[in-house]
Amino acid sequence: MDFLTALNQRVLVCDGAMGSVLYARGVFVNQSFEALNLRQPELVTEVHAAYVRAGANFVESNTFGANRVKLAGFDLVDELVAINRAGVRLARAAGARFVAGAMGPLGVRVGEKRGVSVETAAEVFDEQASVLIEAGADVMLLETFSRVSELRVAVETLRRRSALPIVAQVSTADDGLTQDRLTPEECARLLTEVGATVVGVNCGEGPSATLESVERMADATTVPLSAQPNAGAAREVEGRRLSLSSPDFLASYARRFVTEGVGIVGGCCGTGPEHIARIAEAVSGLAAPRTVEISADVSS
């Protein structure tokens, strides 16, 4: 069964955070987590395996920041191909049914004077995507893009490269808007138009804010949605600062996401295998709320 067939049949559970879990296991934040694919592959594989055991139907390769721009900051550009290839291989070795080739923003402005041109950004995205696709990713997952203008370049670039499914996720601020001031409705319409298979929200201000955003996206597109909120920021409750980040708290939103058309549920910063296990329990047996047409060349 391929990824889209599975997506059309049931709600799929994605994994949670990689960076948060690695940090909890003693990895310092002032290094490239993606380089661990080569330096400490057994550690990365174990994190993936923990998510598989928790019930994740697919996991993301540890390649979020493995693009030329980000790797240059660690003097690792020469290892770009090896890091991305290893990212897919380790996720597969952990027992994942499907592997998502994870890609994040470049960390610089795109199409602005102080950043990089749209053409350069497209070349950077294409370089990383070509390696992930060649390595055998089943689906491409673009996440934590706070500027839809940059995410659009990434989606268009990937769509020119391959017919593989694309999950395109934005990260919104506490006002519900992206940094380039687009609403969830505008994000959904634009990303659908440029070729995203699934559109959604990740990270942001926690599950409550994510629910609000996907509710609005649901009115603007008919494609499946995705939701990967972080564990939730600390809030003041009866005079105390409490982090409402328990696995049960996050899982309590899972079925609510699905009622709004979300077919992919997972976690982001601050979430771990225990959160994913509760989410998997919450959505177990739920049919896909939305389906996508499968073309003959989808695996090309």
The token duo for 178 is 């992206």
Fold of 18-164: TIM Barrel (3.20.20)
Low-confidence ranges of the chain (pLDDT < 70): 233-244, 296-300
Instruction: Yes or no: say if 57 and 12 are a contact pair by the CB < 8 Å rule.
Output: yes
| % of the chain at pLDDT higher than 90 | 87
The token duo for 49 is 């395996």
Predicted pLDDT at 237: 47
Instruction: Yes or no: say if 200 and 262 are a contact pair by the CB < 8 Å rule.
Output: yes
Which residue, among 162, 167, 106, 104, has the nearest Cα to 136 in the 3D structure? 162
The token duo for 26 is 């003693």
Predicted pLDDT at 244: 58
Predicted pLDDT at 298: 53
Which residue, among 131, 19, 6, has the nearest Cα to 56 in the 3D structure? 6
Question: Three-class SS of residue 242?
Answer: strand
Q: What is the DSSP letter of 294?
A: P
Which residue, among 214, 208, 186, 177, has the nearest Cα to 290 in the 3D structure? 214
Predicted pLDDT at 241: 43
Predicted pLDDT at 300: 44
Partners of 72 in beta bridges: none
Please report which helix (H) or strand (E) contains residue 119, including its range. helix 118-134
The structural domains of the chain, with segments of one domain joined by +, span 18-164, 202-292
